[in-house]
Amino acid sequence: MSKPLMRELEKVWQASAADLLAQGVVSCLAEVEVAARREVERTAFDILAGKGDSAGGLASLLRGEDAPVEVLETIHLHLLSRGLERTGDGKIRCRTARRHRRSQGIYYTPDYVAEYLTARCLSGWRGPSPPRVFDPACGCGRFLVTAARQLLQQSHGAVDVAHCLHGCDLDEEAVEVARRVLSLTLMPHGSNPTDRAAITAGLEANVVCANALVEDVWKGNPIRGAARGVREGVEGTTSVVSPRSSSSLQPPVSGLPSFDIVLGNPPYRRELGTKDLLDRIAESDFGRRYRTPRMDLWYYFLHRSIELLAPGGRLGFVVGAYWSAGRGAARLITSLRETVHVEEIFQLDRLQVFPGVAGRHMMLVLAKPPSAAPTTVRLPVLDEPGDARPYVEGSAEVRSFTKLPAQLFRNGLLDLEPPAERLLDRLARFPTLGQLGKIRQGIAENPAAVTKAARRKHGELWPLGEGVFALTPEELERLDLPPAEQEPIRPYHDLCDLGRYERAEDPSLRLIYSTRETWPRLGDCPILAAHLARFRPIMEARRETRQGIRTWWQLHWPREAWIWEQAKLIALQMARRPSFVPSREATYTSFSTNVFVPDAGVREDLHYFAAILNSRLLWKWFRHHAKRRGVGLEINGHVLARAPIRRIDFTSPAETAVHDRLVGLVDRMLDLSHCRRTSPEDEIEAQWRETDGEIDRNVYRLYGLANEEIAAVEEAC
């Protein structure tokens, strides 16, 4: 949408709002925003539909746009990211308000994503009538419009298409936009007034403002029956298996409508900040079937859509990609394994899908019933992140491989790496790290420093980034603590102080290690108490403080004190590749790390564990078991505990020699790491790579890998 059109829209919106306020129709500015926005959108539709030529310059600008159907969605999205405010002289002006869209998880689907998923789901449809299509969170109707266009291209009549399309959304404005863009799409194909009236009636009945998760949306007009078409590649060419039973999954509620095609881009809203909404859904019968801790709102939409999908039907969703190895998605993954066939997973990796939205996304294509057929996994071949469009449209390189259900669903997770059964089965025979010692997550300060969210919530009482429990040396020096108050202070390694074989000798932060043991009485440390009292509203809001588990001046989760004083292996939770560093001295680390402390009877050296876990072989293992996050992997404590460790038989001189060689190589890596920090030179970098490679070669031999397995590891990592 052109900048002149955006400016003209905002002018018309402001003028409409001012008129509504002057007329006294509404008095609340928030209500004025909505009413004026709907008036602008209605005016734009009338212009595009040829029903009027009002709004002067707006009409000429609108008619200059290339695709009028897309314009209505763009207008709604643009105005939704704006707000209205009063100026000092009482006038109305626009302001940026993108936070509202982010908080509601509102990111409308790019056209090429809708085209791809719709084409995949409609491919092979052979019914005489168009399939029943449903979008459970339709927004402005992007998927429905795309389906309408493709069905018209298949020579289905406009009236039939209007009556086969179904969508609902909680946003009444968006539903109005969806009806209008569908009307603009279908009306030119209505040959007479009767057809056009039937199109309008179908859209009004089937595209509605409703909650698809908890409402019987079309209860008065249920849609019955299974898919009526015969699909190429579904019947006759795949091995269909009966649904796999599971006590964790209840059958869908009888009497629900069924749909041949379900398409969507459900809202992404995580449990943090959405708990009240998720709790309300959980009170319904549907919610009780599928509620799990740490779930995302969109999980509910996929569960509901699978229930509504008719046998022989297909489902196409674009979703975030972080769930495939997350514990909060265990029930969702079980549902996929037991109730549908996953036809395709298109991993969009680091590609930009939604403008202004970071993170990884994927496209899912599912079919009913379950099948023993393989799943196609598609991955873009890229060096740097870029736009997803050329990869989805087929003009950029995409790598594909297939996986059988047993290879795709592994240990309750979704394994999206290329098949490596022989290697993974071999590694599964070794003991796990969790059997050899204690694994703990780092310290949760809550808060370490003042965040943007805390400032917003508490009226910007403190400078952004000011240390609360985690202080810079300069901040600590300004407190001028007497010796009696320095006992709770600990050197504190921030993430910038840690890396793969890297640990800063002098950490960048100092931690107020405030616990029941180190600071039981508030009056014992009056200067520290005065410092923390400035931030008391933040700490008082913590759940554990409200419940009386922690006093407000103590750390949220300090963990056991002995953990930090022991020799340990420190693991970064998120990094480009698995990153571990050993520490033989007291080291305190944050919530973004895990630590491993070997049990007393374990003879393997700490540096031996560092060599194994930092190796390419274990990197390959983590790629199959850890969650993709950002540019790398998220290795939480549960995944880390399952890492396969080759034990050493110390009665064998040969094995003992390999152990000692790896320990020595890690010593060298630590020395080189220090040199890299102080004087990065090409020669040091070359020595680092050679030593790292020697560790890998020793680990391959220790685990008994064949040459082809080594080649597969090197190619993947």
What pLDDT score does 10 carry?
73
Domain harbouring 675, CATH code: 3.90.220
The answer to whether position 644 is within a domain reads: yes
If asked whether residues 83 and 123 sit together in one domain, one would say no
Q: In what order do the strands lie in the sheet with 632-634?
A: 574-575, 632-634, 627-629
What pLDDT score does 216 carry?
76
Q: Find, among 457, 469, 438, the residue nearest to 557 by Cα.
A: 469
* Confidence (pTM): 0.78
Cis amide leading into 188 (omega within 30):
no
If asked whether residues 478 and 578 sit together in one domain, one would say no
The answer to whether position 378 is within a domain reads: yes
Q: Which amino acid is at 108?
A: Y
The answer to whether position 474 is within a domain reads: yes
What pLDDT score does 574 carry?
92
If asked whether residues 240 and 307 sit together in one domain, one would say yes
The answer to whether position 207 is within a domain reads: no
The answer to whether position 636 is within a domain reads: yes
The answer to whether position 186 is within a domain reads: yes
SS3 content of the chain, % helix, strand, coil (to 5): 45, 20, 40
**Of the ranges 339-348, 376-385, 635-644, which one carries the lowest mean pLDDT score?**
376-385
Q: What does pLDDT average to over the chain?
A: 86
The answer to whether position 203 is within a domain reads: no
Question: What pLDDT digit, counting tens, does each position of 415-465 carry?
Answer: 999 999 999 999 999 999 999 999 999 999 999 999 999 998 998 899 999
Higher pLDDT, 25 or 126: 126
Domain count, the chain: 5
Question: What pLDDT digit, counting tens, does each position of 235-288 carry?
Answer: 333 343 443 333 344 344 445 678 999 999 998 776 555 667 777 888 888 888
Say yes or no to pLDDT of 567 above 80: yes
If asked whether residues 392 and 468 sit together in one domain, one would say no
If asked whether residues 542 and 577 sit together in one domain, one would say no
State what percent of residues in the chain have pLDDT above 70.
87
Question: What pLDDT digit, counting tens, does each position of 686-704 carry?
Answer: 999 999 999 999 999 999 9
Distances (CA, A) of 384 to 381, 391, 631: 9, 13, 10
What pLDDT score does 107 carry?
66
If asked whether residues 339 and 363 sit together in one domain, one would say yes
If asked whether residues 454 and 521 sit together in one domain, one would say yes
What pLDDT score does 53 carry?
52
Highest mean pLDDT (candidates 105-114, 225-234, 553-562):
553-562
Both structure tokens of 329? 């998605």
The answer to whether position 459 is within a domain reads: yes
Four-residue CA torsion sign, 526, 530, 531, 535: positive
What pLDDT score does 21 carry?
73
Question: What pLDDT digit, counting tens, does each position of 495-544 carry?
Answer: 999 999 999 999 999 999 999 999 999 999 999 999 999 999 999 999 99
If asked whether residues 305 and 348 sit together in one domain, one would say yes
Say yes or no to pLDDT of 609 above 80: yes
What's the CA gap between 635 and 641, in Å, rounded? 10
What pLDDT score does 221 carry?
41
Backbone angles phi, psi at 332, to 5 degrees: -65, -45
Helix (H, G, I), strand (E, B) or coil at 245: coil
Question: What pLDDT digit, counting tens, does each position of 139-171 carry?
Answer: 889 999 999 999 999 999 999 999 999 999 988
If asked whether residues 489 and 436 sit together in one domain, one would say no
If asked whether residues 495 and 618 sit together in one domain, one would say no
If asked whether residues 608 and 697 sit together in one domain, one would say yes
Helices (H), 233-342: 275-282, 285-290, 297-308, 330-339
Q: Which amino acid is at 318?
A: V
Question: What pLDDT digit, counting tens, does each position of 48-88 carry?
Answer: 776 655 545 667 666 666 666 677 777 777 777 777 777 76
Q: Domain containing 386: what range?
A: 113-131+212-217+225-418
If asked whether residues 489 and 387 sit together in one domain, one would say no
Question: What pLDDT digit, counting tens, does each position of 25-56 carry?
Answer: 666 777 777 777 777 777 777 777 766 555 45
